[in-house]
């Protein structure tokens, strides 16, 4: 399960897959051929450290939306635990941050414990 809230908070269960769709704030903006969109996830209060997850997409066409696909291995950076762990994240366009820490604070990337197969009550 991957969920993106209106405030930018991203939630996912450890080991799950999902797609994050990135659009520009300006509805008329078009991402260009060879633009690089990068998702970086950091330890909470750790923007100055190395990211625990970095995933980039190089565009092969002009578009107004970019999908960042997370596979199971991408969400395994979080230790196995029985509680949610909150990280911070940023999304950049050609290394310029377009979504991240702003006047509202850090953008949160919350990883919930892995779902137990067959248990619909977990997560």
The predicted-structure confidence for 22-52, as pLDDT tens digits, reads as follows: 987 766 789 999 999 999 999 998 888 899 9
Q: How many CB atoms lie within 10 A of CB 25?
A: 7
The pTM is what? 0.88
CA distances from 36 to 11, 42, 48, 52 (A): 23, 19, 21, 19
pLDDT digits (tens, 9 = 90+) for 109-118: 999 998 766 5
Q: How many CB atoms lie within 10 A of CB 11?
A: 19
Helix (H, G, I), strand (E, B), or coil: what is residue 89?
strand
């Amino acid at each position: 399960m991957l969920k993106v809230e209106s405030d930018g908070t991203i939630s996912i269960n450890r080991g799950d897959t999902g797609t994050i769709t990135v659009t520009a704030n300006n509805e008329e903006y078009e991402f260009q051929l060879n633009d690089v969109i990068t998702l970086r996830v950091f330890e909470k209060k750790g923007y100055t450290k190395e990211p625990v997850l970095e995933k980039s997409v190089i565009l092969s066409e002009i578009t107004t939306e970019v999908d960042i696909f997370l596979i199971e291995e991408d969400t395994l950076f979080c230790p196995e635990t029985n509680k949610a762990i909150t990280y911070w994240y940023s999304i950049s366009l050609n290394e310029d941050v377009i979504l991240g820490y702003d006047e509202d604070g850090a953008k949160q990337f919350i990883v919930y414990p892995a779902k137990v197969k067959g248990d619909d009550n977990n997560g």
